[in-house]
A and B are shown apart, each in its own frame.
Chain A
Amino acid sequence: MVGVRSHVTLNVNQAPLDIEIDHRWTLLHVLRDELGLTGAKRGCDRGECGACTVLLDGKPICSCQMLAMQVGDRQVTTIESLGDSSNLNPIQQAFLDKDGGQCGFCTPGFLLSTKALLDSNANPSEWDIRNGLAGNLCRCNAYGRIIESVKEAARLIAEG
C-alpha cells in the first residue's frame, strides 16, 4: 500500500522542519516515527485517551486525530520543548513536587494540557482544572495528585 507523498514544512517546537510525508500519516505518527519525538504516546489512536496530546498554536489537540498534512503553518509544541530532566520548567517541577503521575504514560499529555490551561488562565479554580484536563485519561487515576500539581504550577509561575 503506497500513499501519496508530499514535501511539507512542519513547525515543531519552534523549528521549521522540511519533511516528506505520506498524506495518510497522522501528526502523531510523524512526531513519533519520523521525527523521533516519542514523548507523545499512542494510547488509543482514536482520540479517546489524550496520551498523544500536543499543542497546536497553543491549544491542546489529540495528535492521533489530525493528519500531518492538515497542520499547515501552525506551530506544534511537544513535551520535548519543555525543560529537560536536569532543568525542569515550573509545570514539570510542580508535577515532580506533588507526585502528579504514576506510570507516566499519560504524563506528557497532562503537562501540555496544563500548559495550555495556565497560558490562558493563570489562576484556575479546581473546576477550571478539572474542565481543562478532562480530555486526558490517567488509568492509574493519579487525578488527585495531578490537580494538586496544577495548583502548585500556577503558584510557581505566579512567583516567577
Chain B
Amino acid sequence: MAYNVVGKSVPRYDLPEKLTGESKYAGDIKLPGMLHAKVLRSPHPHARILSIDASAAEALTGVHAVLTPFNTPTGRVAPDLAILDTTVRFVGDEVAAVAADSEDAAQEALASIKVEYEVLPFVTDPREAIKSYATAIHSGGNLIGGEPLILSRGNIEEGFAEADLVVEESFTTPAHAGAALEPRVAVASWDGDRLTVWKSSRGVHADKLSLASALQIGQENVHVIGPTMGAGYGNKDETRLAAIVSALAKSAGRPVRLELTREEEFVAGRKRHSTETTVKVGVKNDGTVTAIHTITLMDTGAYLSSGPGVVRRAGQGALYLYRCANVQYDGYLTYTNQPSGGSYRALGAPQGHFALESTMEKVAEALGMDSLEFRLKNHVGPEGQPGERITPADQIIDTQPVEGGVPFSSNGLQQCLELGSEAIDWQGRHERNANQSGSRLRGVGMGMFIYRGGPGTPTNAWMTLNADGTLQVTAGTMDVGEGNSTAIPQMVAEELGVAYEDVKVLFGDSDITPEAPITSGSTATFSTGQAALNATKELKSKILAAASESMGMPANNLEIANGVVKAKDGIASMTLAEVAAITGQIRTEASLTPGSTDFIVNSFGAHFAEVEVDTVTGNVDVLHYVAAHDSGNVINPQLATNQVEGGVSQMLGFALTEQMLTDPGSGVTLNGSFLEHKGATIQEFPNIDVIFADVYDPVGPFGMKALGEPPNIGVAPAIINAIYDAIGVRIHDLPATPDKILDALDRKEREGRA
C-alpha cells in the first residue's frame, strides 16, 4: 500500500533537541530553593529496624528534613512496598533519607544517623526460599501466591506417551541490570496540598495513582510530569524514590531532588529476573512435537514489582511457539533477600526462549534433523494452536493465550525463517566452516520467537485542530526512547492528509493528557496509536463537514491532501487555518480497549548468528548477525532498524558478558558498575542485517504490530546455538563468559579421553 508518511523514515520527533543539549531530562530540572536528597541504605540482607536516632543529622547545618520509617506516611507504593519500612529486605534497601542544601551535606548527614537493627535470618537462593522452613520475607510466605502458576493445553502425559523420543534440559539465566545511562531521578515540589513530581517515568498516570496511594492524598492533588526519558527499557516503573522525595519536600517545605548514583542504580534499580528453567520435549521420529513441559523458578528478590507478569511471559514461548496439542508451563515466582527484580525489555521472554530454543536445538540433533528444517516443520502457523477456543466469541482474545483454536491476525514466522536463513546462508554454513583449523572456530546458530504486544490495556488520545490551524495529538503515554512520539504522529498525519511536521505531540503530563497505560509490553504505538487514529478520523470528518458548509459542496466530494481541504474533482480549496478560523478549536477524543475478538495479535521473529570462538581465550566474536522480524507493516524503517539493532546489541551482554552478582554469604552486590556489568560498546557492535517480513496486520493501525521488545528475545538462543555449532559444547548457564566456555571445552576434552 502506498502511503505519504507511513513507511517513511522521517526524523525522530524529539531528536533535534537531543542533539543540541536542549532536551530536559528529569535530572536537568532545577527549581528555586531546591534541596538535594541522599538515601541511607541497609547493610543487612534482612533486618528489622528497631529504632533510628536522627537527632545528630537533623542538627547539622544545611539539613532540612530527615525521613525514617517512623515519620513517613504509611500508604503503600505497591502492595508489598512502603515508602520506608521497618523491615529491610536486601543489602541496599532504603532505610532513611535526608534533604539538605547540597548532595555533599546530605551524604555527610547520613553518617550521623544511628540505626538499631535486629538482624534476621536471610535467604538469597530461590531454591531455598521456596522451602517451608525458609525465613518469610513478607507475610504470606516467599512463593508468590502460595503455589506455582500452572497453564496447560491438552494433556502432557498423553503427549509424552505418544513420543518416540524425550529430551530434557535445564538452564539458568542471571539477574541482569537495565542500566539505562540516565540514573533514576525524581524532583518533588508542593504548592499547598498539591504535589508536582518530575521523574524518569514510563507512565505518568500510573505514577500518579501510586504516589496518591503512598502519600495518602487524593489523585487530583498529584501532578506527574515525565520529562525526556534517558531510556527505560521497561525498567523505571517503581515510584518509591518519588514518594521519598515527596515526603521529604513536604517536611522541608521546599522542593527536593534525588538522583541515584550509578552504584545505587545497579544495586537498587530493578533487574531482569534470574531464572532456572527445565524444558522437557516429546517428539515422534518424524519430528512431530507431541508434548512440551516447562518449569521455571524465578527470583523476584525483595519485592514483587512486575514479577507476576514476568513469570507469565517466561512461559509463553514454550506454550505457543511450536505447534503442539499438549503443553504445560509451571511458573514458580519467589521472594528472596536479593535486590529486587522488575520489568526489563521483553520481561521473561528472553529467559524462556533461551531455554526453549536451546532444548529444541538438542531435539533436532537427537532426531538427526537440521534445526531450521525442524523449526519450519513445527513452528506455529497462521491458524494458531490445535484445540478448541475457550474465550467467549464476543471477548477480546488474550495476546498471551493458552487455548488452541484461535488464529493469529497475521503470522510471518515462516517468512522470517526463510528470509533470515537465506541472509546468513544457513545451507552453506557447514561447507564454509568445514575443515577449520587453529584455535578460532566458527559456527552458525539460530532461534525463533513469539511475543505478545500490540494490544494493551484501555487507552485514550485527543486530536486538536487549534484556532490557528495547527494540529496536536495529545496522549498520556511516554516515549521512553523507542520513538512512539514519532510513529504516532506519522499515522495521524497519514490519516489526516497533512505533513508529519504539521502534527505537534504532547505526551507525558498527568494534568493535561488523558489517561494512558504505562509504556510497556510493546503496546504503546499500537494501542495509543489506534486511539489517536480514531480521534483523527473524527476530527477529519468534522473538518470536512465545516469545509463542506463553507464551500457549499457535499463532504464526500472533499478530501484533505497536503494539509489543504479540496474538491476531489475541482480546484476549490480551503486551508486548515481557514477552516479553523470558522470553527474555532476542535478537539476530538477517542477511548478504546485495544485488541481483537477474532484473532491473537502477536509479533514474531527469527535470529541467526555466525560467531567465532577463540578456544584459547574463550572469547566469542559475533561475525554476522541476521534479525528477521514480523512486526507487521513498518511505520518508520529507520527507527525500526535502530530499534532492532539496538535490542540485538543490548542482549549480546545478556548472552555473553552481563550479570549482577551478589555474595551469597552476605547479600552484598559485587559488581555495581558499567565496567563490571559490562555490555557491548561500539567496538563489539556486530555486522547486523535487519529484515522485516512483508506482513500487513489486519488489526493493527496501518497494519503495524509490536516491535519494542521483540529484538531482545532471539539473541541468547542464536548466540548460544552458534557457539555449540562452533565448538560442540553447550552453555546452559548465561552469560557465556570465557571461563565457562573454557571449562566446557576442558570437560569435553576429558570426556573424549575417558
Report whether chain A binds chain B: yes
Binding site for B on A (CB under 8 A): 1, 32-33, 36-46, 48-49, 51, 78-80, 82-86, 88, 92, 95-99, 101-108, 111, 129-131, 133-134, 136-147
Contacts beyond the supplied A103-B182, A105-B230, A147-B685: 18 A-B pairs with Cβ under 8 Å: A38-B27, A42-B259, A46-B262, A48-B262, A49-B674, A79-B21, A80-B21, A83-B20, A92-B19, A95-B19, A96-B11, A99-B9, A101-B12, A102-B483, A103-B181, A104-B230, A131-B683, A139-B679
Task: Count chain A CB atoms within 10 A of each CB in B19, B179, B649 and give the residue with the most.
Answer: B19
- Cβ-defined contact, A137 with B23, below 8 A: no
Q: Within the assembled complex, what's the spacing in Å between the Cα atoms of A142 and B649?
A: 8
Contact check, B21 vs A37: say whether CB atoms are below 8 A apart: yes
B 638-653 binary contact with A (CB < 8 Å = 1; else 0): 1101110111111000
Are A49 and B181 touching (Cβ within 8 A)?
Answer: yes
Quick check: A144 and B685 within 8 Å, CB to CB?
A: yes
A-B contact pairs, 18 of them (CB 8 A): A41-B27, A42-B183, A44-B262, A51-B181, A79-B21, A84-B22, A85-B16, A96-B11, A99-B12, A102-B231, A103-B182, A103-B228, A104-B17, A139-B233, A140-B481, A141-B646, A141-B648, A142-B646
Q: Are A140 and B183 in contact (CB under 8 A)?
A: no
Q: Which residues of B contact A (CB under 8 A)?
A: 9, 11-12, 14-25, 27-28, 30, 104-105, 108, 178-183, 228-233, 259, 261-262, 480-483, 638-639, 641-643, 645-650, 673-675, 679-683, 685, 688
Rounded to whole Å, the gap between the CB of A30 and the closest CB of chain B is: 14
Closest 7 A-B residue pairs measured CB to CB? A39-B21, A104-B18, A103-B481, A105-B230, A141-B649, A103-B231, A143-B685
Contacts A101-B18, A130-B683; A143 near B649 (Cβ below 8 A):
yes
State how many angstroms separate the Cβ of A49 from the closest Cβ of chain B.
6
Decide if B15 touches A38 in the complex (CB within 8 Å).
Answer: no
Contacts A41-B182, A85-B22, A146-B682 given; does A96 touch B481 at CB 8 Å: no
Nearest-Cβ distance from residue A107 to partner chain B, whole angstroms: 5
Cβ B231 vs Cβ A139 within 8 A: yes
Q: How far is the CB of A115 from chain B (nearest CB, A)?
A: 12
Which residues of B lie under 8 Å from residue A1 when comparing CB positions?
104-105, 108
Q: Is the CB of B19 within 8 A of A144?
A: no
Contact residues in B for A80 (Cβ distance below 8 Å): 20-21
**Complex CA distance for A42 and B185, rounded to whole angstroms:** 11
A99 touches B18 (CB 8 A): no
Are A102 and B28 interface neighbours, CB within 8 A? no
CA–CA, A9 and B136, complex, Å: 59
Give Cα distance in the complex from A131 to B682, angstroms. 8
CB contact between B646 and one of A36, A102, A129, A130 (< 8 Å): that residue: A102
Determine the chain B residues whose CB is within 8 A of the CB of A46 once the complex forms.
Answer: 262, 673
Q: In the complex, A130 Cα to B682 Cα: how many Å?
A: 6
Q: A42-B27, A44-B674, A146-B682 given as contacts; is B11 within 8 A of A97 (CB)?
A: yes
Residues of chain B within 8 A (CB-CB) of A146 are: 682
Complex alpha-carbon distance, A99 and B19, angstroms: 11
Contact indicator A99/B11 (Cβ below 8 Å): yes
Query: In the complex where A44-B262, A79-B20, A84-B22 touch, is A141 in contact with B685 (Cβ < 8 A)?
Result: yes
Which residues from chain B contact A84 at a C-beta distance below 8 Å? Answer: 20, 22
Residues of A within 8 A of B14 (CB): 104
Min CB distance A13 to B, Å, is 11
Known contacts being A79-B20, A105-B231, is A141 close to B12, with CB within 8 Å? Answer: no
CA distance A82 to B18 in the complex (A): 12
A98–B15 alpha-carbon span in the complex (Å): 11
CB <8 Å contact, A142 and B25: no
CA distance A102 to B232 in the complex (A): 11
CB-defined contacts of B639 to chain A, threshold 8 Å:
99
